[in-house]
């Protein structure tokens, strides 16, 4: 701990954003990094607690106090080495992680937390600028072959770890480009895609093979992988969206968020949009559902110059501030206003959709009702419609962003006859990551359900260790 009184001397400062009118004119990242001298002061705010709750709060258990101190003293290269010990892709998490570590920071109890995510981002970007991020090529080859199905953060983390353990690794991806939701879900204004491309180049140098446009279970049977590989990792995500089966849901202009968002990511990267184009330009857009996906629809609609953007959430508005003494060090329920909300959006809470209305087959609006939430007879939260509260909202583009229920059950899962858990995810523990099928493992959203990039990285890393142990009888990969 370089500066024992840092937290008393320096207030929290974080990265700023480009002004709204500037950032809405393009799809580029708009977060402005902290200058080096300020970054060092922010590192000095870390109290190096005896029990670092941030480390527990971070799903990959980043060794945060160590690198906070190293940044404070200017030892960025060592900070990067320590960061890479626990996180394969701090460039992804430093951009899109909601930072549960900061909620868990001890300083957050009485003050504002250390700007952990900003420091993480600065360490890795400095690493790339200085050429410190190099392929880590395995010294010995094991002769074992592993196929990873799916190239999101879970698949990429598993593949990188397994290649570094000396296995021959091939990643199969149904989409045209590698990256999963990092590539096609998360918009460029949150994470530009060259950030994925440079990691793919690193992984290729480490020996990982990539096979895009290969839909396992559809245009390549999984049997072939079972014959050719010693182990398979399923990292297929949780792609089945939650539906809203009310009258009018099949009208033209009502779309799932993941029909809308990938198209814009493709346009930005110059990839051809082969599906029928969905654009918010000039439209009254209604986003149903909160969360990251809903926010991304708002930010994208505003960049496409929508006429208006509104968001409906069925849950009541959470409190503006959490009661830290009862929620710390856990992730608190509180009102979260994303950068996309700030760019322009009307938000309504405790509203349920009754039906979509339309003319000539196209959506024109939505009939809604206000709901009140309270504890039902069984003690669970339940909602009741507020009598006389029905109202109508005009909309000619509706984006459904109510989350994802499970992985898609047909195709590869059906062919493998994989056992599912009660929620419809692939059944496996977070100890051995082994499915009901011999030599087939699972990681990421496909196992834990819809989650976060940082959790997918954790699962990919831990699954890689489990695979390595199963193949070799022992493993030196970290858990
Ligand atoms: C719009 C959106 C925004 C998000 N924003 C954030 C955010 O800001 N921060 C955050 O932490 N999390 C965010 N998330 C969640 C996060 O992206 C996911 O939790 C994470 O990507 C899950 O990683 P994964 O590797 O398990 O699956 P995915 O990223 O879903 O990757 C699965 C991959 O498997 C491929 N695949 C599936 N089946 C097959 C098959 N049979 N053959 C070949 N390939 C197959 C898919 O094409 C896909 O590329 C967001 C999610 C969405 C939808
Ligand atoms: S990965 Fe997320 S939780 Fe972990 S240190 Fe980075 S921002 Fe915090």
pLDDT at 368 over 90: yes
pLDDT at 130 over 80: yes
**The predicted structure's pLDDT at residue 156:** 99
Does the domain spanning 6-130 belong to CATH 3.40.50.300? no
Alpha-carbon 129 to chain mean position? 25
141 SS3 class: coil
Buried b (16+ CB within 10 A) or exposed e, 79-104: bbebbbebbbbbbbbbbbbbbbbbbb
Q: If you classify domain 245-401 with CATH, what class do you get?
A: alpha beta
pLDDT at 351 over 90: yes
The answer to whether 143 and 153 have CB atoms below 8 angstroms apart is no
CA pair distance 187, 192, nearest whole angstrom: 8
Q: What percent of the chain has pLDDT over 70?
A: 100
Ligand 2 closest atom vs CA 57: 3
Q: Which token pair is 244? A: 């809203």
Ligand nearest to the CA of 442: 1
The predicted model gives 143-155 an average pLDDT of 98
Q: Crossing angle, helix 64-72 and helix 76-86, to 10 degrees?
A: 170
pLDDT digits (tens, 9 = 90+) for 231-252: 999 999 999 999 999 999 999 9
Is the minimum distance from the CB of 88 to ligand 2 under 6 angstroms?
no
Kindly indicate the confidence band of residue 1, based on its pLDDT and cuts at 50, 70 and 90: low
Ligand nearest to the CA of 55: 2
Q: How many other C-beta atoms are found inside a 10 Å radius of the C-beta of residue 166?
A: 18
pLDDT at 55 over 80: yes
Ligand nearest to the CA of 86: 2
Kindly indicate the confidence band of residue 380, based on its pLDDT and cuts at 50, 70 and 90: confident
pLDDT at 479 over 90: no
CA count, 13 A, side-chain hemisphere, 317? 9
pTM above 0.95, yes or no: yes
Q: How far is the CA of 95 from the centre of ligand 1 (A)?
A: 16
pLDDT at 438 over 70: yes
Of residues 63, 54, 86, 55, the one with CA closest to residue 458: 86
Residue-range domain boundaries for the chain: 6-130, 145-239+405-472, 245-401
Q: Ligand 2, atom 1: nearest CA belongs to which residue?
A: 93
Two domains, one topology: 145-239+405-472 and 245-401:
yes
Q: How do beta strands 145-149 and 168-172 pair?
A: parallel
**The predicted structure's pLDDT at residue 167:** 98
CA pair distance 147, 229, nearest whole angstrom: 6
Q: How far is CA 223 from CA 30, 168, 455, in A?
A: 45, 19, 29
42 SS3 class: helix
Cα dihedral 477/215/200/260 (nearest 10): -120
Q: How far is the CA of 101 from the centre of ligand 2 (A)?
A: 6
The predicted model gives 211-228 an average pLDDT of 97
Does the bond joining 329 to the residue before it have cis omega, within 30 degrees of 0? yes
Tell me which of 59, 97, 150 to substitute to probe ligand 1's pocket, judged by most ligand atoms within 8 Å of the beta carbon: 150
Long-range contacts of 371-376 (CB under 8 A, 24+ apart): 371/314, 373/315, 373/316
Q: Return the DSSP state at 117.
A: H
The predicted model gives 443-453 an average pLDDT of 98
The answer to whether 147 and 168 have CB atoms below 8 angstroms apart is no
Q: Which token pair is 202? A: 């690193």
Q: How many other C-beta atoms are found inside a 10 Å radius of the C-beta of residue 179?
A: 26
**The predicted structure's pLDDT at residue 2:** 67
pLDDT at 43 over 80: yes
Ligand 1 closest atom vs CA 190: 8
Q: Return the DSSP state at 107.
A: G
Give residue 102's region: left, alpha or beta (phi > 0; psi -120 to 50): alpha
pLDDT at 375 over 90: no
Q: To which H or E segment does residue 300 belong? A: helix 291-303
CA pair distance 98, 364, nearest whole angstrom: 35
pLDDT at 162 over 80: yes
Looking at 3.50.50.60, 2.40.50.100, 3.10.20.70, 3.10.105.10, the CATH number of the domain 145-239+405-472 comes to 3.50.50.60
Q: pLDDT averaged over the chain?
A: 96
Ligand 2 closest atom vs CA 100: 3
Tell me which of 404, 453, 462, 464 to substitute to probe ligand 1's pocket, judged by most ligand atoms within 8 Å of the beta carbon: 453
Tell me which of 15, 42, 60, 84 to substitute to probe ligand 2's pocket, judged by most ligand atoms within 8 Å of the beta carbon: 60
Of residues 470, 471, 412, 380, the one with CA closest to residue 173: 412
CA angle 189, 191, 194 (to 5 degrees): 115
Positions of E strands within 53-199: 145-149, 168-172
Long-range contacts of 315-318 (CB under 8 A, 24+ apart): 315/290, 315/349, 315/350, 315/373, 316/349, 316/350, 316/373, 317/349, 317/350
Q: How far is the CA of 180 from the centre of ligand 1 (A)?
A: 5
């Amino acid at each position: 701990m370089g500066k024992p009184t840092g937290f008393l001397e320096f207030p929290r400062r974080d990265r700023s954003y480009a002004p709204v009118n500037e950032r809405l004119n393009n799809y580029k990242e708009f977060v402005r990094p902290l200058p080096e001298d300020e970054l060092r002061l922010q590192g000095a705010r870390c109290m190096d607690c005896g029990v670092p709750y941030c480390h527990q709060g971070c799903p990959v258990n980043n060794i945060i106090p160590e690198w906070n101190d190293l940044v404070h003293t200017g030892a960025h290269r060592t900070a990067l080495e320590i960061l890479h010990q626990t996180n394969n892709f701090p460039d992804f998490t430093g951009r899109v992680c909601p930072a549960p570590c900061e909620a868990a920071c001890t300083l957050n109890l009485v003050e504002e937390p250390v700007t952990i995510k900003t420091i993480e981002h600065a360490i890795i970007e400095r690493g790339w600028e200085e050429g410190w991020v190099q392929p880590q090529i395995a010294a010995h080859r094991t002769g074992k072959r592993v196929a990873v199905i799916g190239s999101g953060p879970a698949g990429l983390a598993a593949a990188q770890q397994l290649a570094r353990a000396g296995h021959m690794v091939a990643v199969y991806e149904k989409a045209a480009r590698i990256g999963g939701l990092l590539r096609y879900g998360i918009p460029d204004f949150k994470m530009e895609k060259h950030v994925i491309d440079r990691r793919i180049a690193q992984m290729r140098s480490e020996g990982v093979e990539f096979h895009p446009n290969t839909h396992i279970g559809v245009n390549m049977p999984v049997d072939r992988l079972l014959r050719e590989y010693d182990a398979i990792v399923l990292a297929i995500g949780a792609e089945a969206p939650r539906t809203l089966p009310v009258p009018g849901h099949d009208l033209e202009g009502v779309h799932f968020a993941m029909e809308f968002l990938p198209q814009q990511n493709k346009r930005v990267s110059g990839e051809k949009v082969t599906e029928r184009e969905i654009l918010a330009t000039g439209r009254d857009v209604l986003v149903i559902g909160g969360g990251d996906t809903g926010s991304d629809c708002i930010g994208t609609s505003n960049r496409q110059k929508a006429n208006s953007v509104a968001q409906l959430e069925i849950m009541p508005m959470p409190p503006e501030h959490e009661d830290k003494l009862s929620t710390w060090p856990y992730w608190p329920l509180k009102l979260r206003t994303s950068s996309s909300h700030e760019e322009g959006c009307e938000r309504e809470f405790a509203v349920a959709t009754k039906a979509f209305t339309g003319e000539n087959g196209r959506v024109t609006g939505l009939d809604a009702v206000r709901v009140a939430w309270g504890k039902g007879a069984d003690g669970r939260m339940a909602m009741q419609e507020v009598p006389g509260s029905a109202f109508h909202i005009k909309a000619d583009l509706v984006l459904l962003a109510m989350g994802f229920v499970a992985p898609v059950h047909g195709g590869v899962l059906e062919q493998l006859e994989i056992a599912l858990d009660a929620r419809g995810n692939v059944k496996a523990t977070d100890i051995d990551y082994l499915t009901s099928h011999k030599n087939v493992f699972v990681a990421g959203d496909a196992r834990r359900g819809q989650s976060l990039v940082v959790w997918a990285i954790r699962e990919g890393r831990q699954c890689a260790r489990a695979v390595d142990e199963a193949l070799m009888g022992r493993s030196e990969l970290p858990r």
